[in-house]
Every structure is written in C-alpha cells, then in structure tokens.
Structure 1
Amino acid sequence: MFITDLVRRGKSIGAVPTMGALHAGHAELIRRAAIENDVAIVTVYPNKIQFKPGVNYDFNLEEDIAFALRAGASAVISSNDTEMFPSGYRTFVSQGDYQIRLDGPHGFLKEAVTGCIRWICYTRPTRSYFGLKDIGQALLVRRAVADLLLDCEVRLVPTVRSKNGVPISSRLRRFNHSELDELSCLYTALNHLRKEIARGASCVKDLIESARSLITLRQFELEFLRIVGADSFEDQDKIELPFIIIGAVRAHGLRVFDNIFVPDRATLLDGPPDVWVDLPER
C-alpha cells in the first residue's frame, strides 16, 4: 500500500483533507503541506454525514485532481460513501456540546470532525493542514487529535481572502462580484472589532453594537455577530485572549461564516496573517 510504504521508509506526510471543489484556499494548504513534508496527500470526499438529507455537493473530481497536482500535491486520494461510511457505521467523535456552541444546533461540526479524524487515521500524516476560515472544525480537530493521542501535528493555516476581504470558499463560488462586494462588509465589521479591542475596548455588548452599524446588507441577512472564547466557544462578556470574532450571514439559503482568530496579543495588534488574492474571474 502506498501510505504504508511511505511510513515504512520514514517519509514525512502532509495531509490536506477536502470535500472537493478546490480553490485558492485549498491551494495554500497544499502548498504548505508540500513545502513542509516529503509527500503531500490531498483527499477528496464530500463528507455525506455533515450534509442534510438530499443535499448534493457539486464538485468535479478530475478538475480537483489536476488542481491539487498543480498546487504541489504528490498524490490525490478519493473515496465514496460506501467506503467511508458503510452500512452499520456508528462511531462518531463526541466533544460534548462544543459542536453547537459556535454554529448553533443546526450545524454539523461533530460530523465534520469525525470525517477529518477518519482521514487522519487513514493517511497517517506527520502533519495535517486545516484553514482558519473553518475555525470551528480546525480547533475541534486539533483538540480531538490531542485527546485521542494521535501521532499527528495539526497545522492551522491563515484564511485566504480576496482583496475585498471576503474569504475564498467553495460555497461562495456561485456568487457574482456584486454579491461578494456586499458580503465584504462582514469582514469590515470583524476587523473593526479587532481594532477597537486593540485600542482597549472591552465591553462586548458595546463593541457588537458599534460593529453592527458597519454591516449594510440588501440581498442578504445578518444572522449573528459574536466574540467567543477560542477554548470554550462560549460568548465573552469581557474580552480575554484567546478569542474568536465571528459572524454569519444567510445568503441564497446558505449560512456564510467569517471570522478572525485572535490567539495572542501580536495578532490583536497587527491582525491575522491572512493571504490576499484577486477575486476569481467570472
């Protein structure tokens, strides 16, 4: 087996689990995995357990394979529902109620973390790469790896954003430039909160109220704007490091999230080390 042989020969493996529909955000994960390891493995599988029944995830495997190889992948591994979650499958990664603290009761963080842990067990990586755009998944996978004593380093990779501030995301690939420009006000509000906190503001209620005034949506609806502890995912009353500034907008029947992860004072003062790219051509 390919992976067994890599491990036997002592090769370091960088794994990038994806659901397909690869984009510039995935390219940054793959690029770092290729630089920091002997072999970079990309997995492509739309994790069926984190979708509502009847939802089909739109991706093209051949295009994703070509994209991953151009970005620096050594190999691409794909799977299907029968292999990943056969009849009778019943083991999930449980982390109490943490999975609903960030996204609410209709989120699927538990299922997302379970899928990621299965891929880590399969690919046996030295390092596995997760983007901070999906902050809840990234931090809960890191916690699960530590709790389960898995021999893998979880690498958190900065968010890749278009130059108007909107994070690159597969769920936004059908949005036009006008819609993306409108969504950019969410990042503006999040970054405003970071700057105000850096200046010394600490009352979360007042901070959120000031940031809401910066969000002007015509086609979409703001669901929430929150500041939560990075360890607990619980809302903060007074600012304490580390924390996450997070917001969600409902657009075209989708929940669109954005966040700024503030793990330390340097990030608070200077901002996160996001990667900035041009908007994709339409």
Structure 2
Amino acid sequence: MQVTNTIEKTRELVNNWKKEGKTIGLVPTMGYLHEGHASLIRRCREENDIVVVSDFVNPTQFGPNEDLEAYPRDFDRDSALCESIGADLIFCPSPVEMYHDPHAFVSIDTLSDTLCGKTRPIHFKGVCTVVSKLFNIVKPDRAYFGQKDAQQLAIIRKMVLDLNFDIQIVGCPIVREEDGLAKSSRNTYLSCEERKAALCLSKAVKKGQELIRNGITASEVLEPMCEIINSEPLARIDYVSMVDALSMQPVDSVNADVLVAMAVYIGKTRLIDNFSYEV
C-alpha cells in the first residue's frame, strides 16, 4: 500500500493505473476510521482493481464553533486498517495542498436547506467542494459513501448529475454497534453515561420503522420517535424529520419514498441517524 500527500504524486499514480486499464474506486473519509468506513473499503475492494482511500479532515465543512480542532485523528491506525483490508493508496493531503483559493467553492443549494443543512449552513458547500476536488484528482470510476449521511449522499448524487461527473456513486448500508448505535467517529467523544444515552437514537429509529407504512402521516411516525428521545435526560433534539427521498423537502404523509432522519445532541456531541422507506 502506498501513501501520498500531494496532488501531483497522486495524479501520477492514477494516470499510470488508468494507462494499464485498471478501474479505480474511491472511498472519501475524514480519517479516524471505524467499521463503517471499513465496510465501504471492502465493498470498493470487491468492485475495483484499485482502491484509493482519502484521509482528510476537511476544514471547509466545519462551521464556527464546531469541532474541527477536536475532531479525532489517528493516521497510523487508519493506515493499518486500510492495509489490512487491501487498499492500494491512502491520499492524506494537508489543507494547504487541497485549498489554494479559499473562495473557490462548489455548492449544490437544492437539497441542502433542510435537515443538517438548516443548522449547518456551510457544511454541504464544504462537502461538495472537497468531494469535487477528490473526484478531479483521483478520477475514480466509482465512489463509495455511507447511507448514515443520507442527505450528503443525495446531494453528491445530484452534484454528479448536475456537473456531469462520469462516476458511479455507490451508497452503502449503515453499520451499527451490537447494541444498535450507528458507528461514528464522534462516538469517541461520549462518556460512558452518554454512550448509554445515545441508544435513544437507534431506539427511535426502530420505533419509526415499526410504525411507518404507506399513507401514514408524518406526525404519527415522528411524535413517538421524539418521545423516546425526549425521555432521555442527556438528549437534545436538533431535528427529527420526514422528507421526500429525492427532494429532501418535508412531507406530511407517506405517499412516496421517504427518508426519516434525525440529529440529536448527547451532551455536547451531535449524532445523526436515519432510515428510509420505499412505497
């Protein structure tokens, strides 16, 4: 497995692989890899000749007073995991390497004004920008993203369509701990007490999955979910919403495919979870 820190060296390797006719898969990450990331890398390994993992904490998707500086980092651990799964390259650039002009952004405004975009207004602009850069640097045939970040996945799919990227976007299922908590790098922020409290998210998801059906109103699904979360003293709801799976706009009832998504603070840590329902 190789490690690169520069765009020039990464492009050199990619161009050589392309000349050999090899297919390239990309798994964009912000590092501090867990089993959720590992599942993406394994899927990428199965479907491509070359596996590239980016390991970059992207500053442009963090707003003021968010956890950019505190975000967990452990490149040696990340490298060992990638090598054990069979990645061919880790691209680990610095912010200076990735951003020459701080005013050059890619923004897909539709789909980004609800859910996480409502309370993190610059987040998806930063995501689209860095993913666009990675697509241009690595030139992958396929790119892999987790469905836990469902709104991000929808926005990236639209960006690929709108900007004519010749890339297949592959969404992969949420990976959970044995007790149901969705795996996240931010889970490391939780104390033992907060870790137990965080189970209210997956419990709410399970309740929503039990209730949802064609024709049911959004409130009949969301209110019982909110009751579960609000019964946990350490939990504070950012949002619990039902949106159209394509437009990401709120819906009043289930008449088409929907996404039910939530963001909840457990203490100071913001966690997300979701489930989809297809009519």
What TM-score bracket applies, with the shorter chain setting the length?
0.7 to 0.9
Tell me by how many angstroms 1:243 deviates.
Answer: 1.1
Quick one: distance in 1 between partners of 2:226 and 2:51?
Answer: 42
In the TM superposition, residue 164 of structure 1 has moved relative to its aligned partner by 1.6
Provide TM-score, normalisation by structure 2: 0.88
Gaps of 5+ in 1: 266-282
Deviations 1:228-253 (A, max 9, x none): 11111111111133211111111232
Alignment of 1:4-15 (within 5 A): 4-15=15-26
Which amino acid letter does the alignment assign opposite residue 18 of structure 1? T
Task: Supply the AA of the counterpart residue of 1:141.
Answer: I
Q: Which moved more, 1:103-112 or 1:155-164?
A: 103-112
Q: Which amino acid aligns with 1:90?
A: H
Q: Does 1:187 align with 2:187?
A: no
Q: 2:60 is matched with which residue?
A: 49
Q: Which moved more, 1:67-76 or 1:174-183?
A: 174-183
Structure-to-structure mapping, 1:141-152, within 5 angstroms: 141-152=156-167
Where 2:112 maps in the other structure, the secondary structure is: helix
List gaps (5 residues or longer) in structure 2.
Answer: 1-11
Q: Please report how far the alpha carbon of residue 93 of structure 1 lies from its aligned counterpart in structure 2 after TM superposition.
A: 1.9
The answer for the alignment partner of 1:220 in structure 2 is 235
- Name the structure 1 match of 2:6: none
Equivalent in 200, 217, 236 of residue 203 of structure 1:
217
- The Cα offsets for residues 71-91 of structure 1, whole Å up to 9 and x where unpaired, read as 2211111101111112x3433
| CA–CA separation in structure 1 for the residues paired with 2:157 and 2:109 | 15
Match of 1:92 among 78, 95, 105: 105
Indicate which of 226, 234, 257 corresponds to 2:249: 234
Match of 2:90 in 1: 76
State the Cα distance separating 1:121 from its structure 2 match.
1.3
User: Sequence identity, in percent?
Assistant: 29
Q: 1:220 to 1:211 in 2, by over 3 A?
A: closer
Asked if structure 2 preserves the Cα contact closer than 8 Å seen for 1:15 and 1:42, the reply is yes
Q: CA deviation at 1:214?
A: 2.4
Other-structure match for 1:111 = 126
**CA offset digits 1:121-174 (Å, max 9, x no partner):** 111111000001111111111111111111110000001001221100001123
Q: How many residue pairs were aligned?
A: 262
AA aligned to 1:259 is: N
* Alignment deviations for residues 9-50 of structure 1 (CA, whole Å, 9 cap, x no partner): 110111001111111111000000011100111011100111
Runs of 4+, deviation exceeding 4 Å? none
